[in-house]
Amino acid sequence: MTGGDADAGADLYDVTLYFNPLASFNVVSLPSGWDWTSGAGFIDVFSINPGEPPIGTDIAPNSSLSGFGVEFDYRAGMLLFDASLVNPSDPDNPTIVNGETLPLNQSVPEPSTIVLLGSALAGLVMAARERS
């Protein structure tokens, strides 16, 4: 990218997650250049080196960053969040986006569970037909 194209998007530099204030949590991992703080019912994860890589640790538009890990002492489900973004050409005017996360471990039956359940239902149907 060159010139205006490089500044067309906004970098992600801060995310706050909101959860049950009575819950306990553990920050398992963070990428290099990121830190965190917390209080009752929230955890704030933020870039400590402003700007895009390789100098800064913000997450640039059309890119991703792995290595974030937080464990809760309960099934957290969907969490509210605030994400702070800044356009590199206008760093004095950040934007805050609000949203809700998706749960990672939604219950999806394994194929073997579906086969077992299906065969049990088929057996029940056959037994009901024989009685009639």
Beta strands in the chain (DSSP E): 11-18, 25-29, 34-39, 42-47, 69-72, 80-86, 95-100
> Dihedral of the CA atoms 50, 52, 58, 61 (nearest 10)?
140
Give every CB contact of residue 102 below 8 A, 6+ residues apart in sequence. 78
Task: Report the pLDDT value the prediction gives residue 2, as an integer from 0 to 100.
Answer: 34
Token code pair at residue 55: 């100098």
CA distances from 106 to 31, 47, 58, 75, 117 (A): 25, 29, 30, 10, 19
Task: Report the pLDDT value the prediction gives residue 78, as an integer from 0 to 100.
Answer: 87
Task: Report the pLDDT value the prediction gives residue 54, as an integer from 0 to 100.
Answer: 86
Task: Report the pLDDT value the prediction gives residue 107, as an integer from 0 to 100.
Answer: 55
First-to-last CA distance in the chain? 74
**CA 36 remoteness from chain centre:** 15
Task: Report the pLDDT value the prediction gives residue 28, as an integer from 0 to 100.
Answer: 94
Task: Report the pLDDT value the prediction gives residue 35, as an integer from 0 to 100.
Answer: 97
What are the mean pLDDT values of the chain's consecutive 10-residue runs (132 residues total)? 48 94 93 95 94 90 91 87 89 90 64 65 67 65
Task: Report the pLDDT value the prediction gives residue 110, as an integer from 0 to 100.
Answer: 59
Task: Report the pLDDT value the prediction gives residue 117, as an integer from 0 to 100.
Answer: 66
Task: Report the pLDDT value the prediction gives residue 59, as an integer from 0 to 100.
Answer: 93
Measure the CA–CA gap between 33 and 83, rounded to whole angstroms.
17
Measure the CA–CA gap between 98 and 81, rounded to whole angstroms.
6
Measure the CA–CA gap between 72 and 130, rounded to whole angstroms.
51
Task: Report the pLDDT value the prediction gives residue 76, as an integer from 0 to 100.
Answer: 82
Task: Report the pLDDT value the prediction gives residue 115, as an integer from 0 to 100.
Answer: 66
Task: Report the pLDDT value the prediction gives residue 124, as an integer from 0 to 100.
Answer: 66
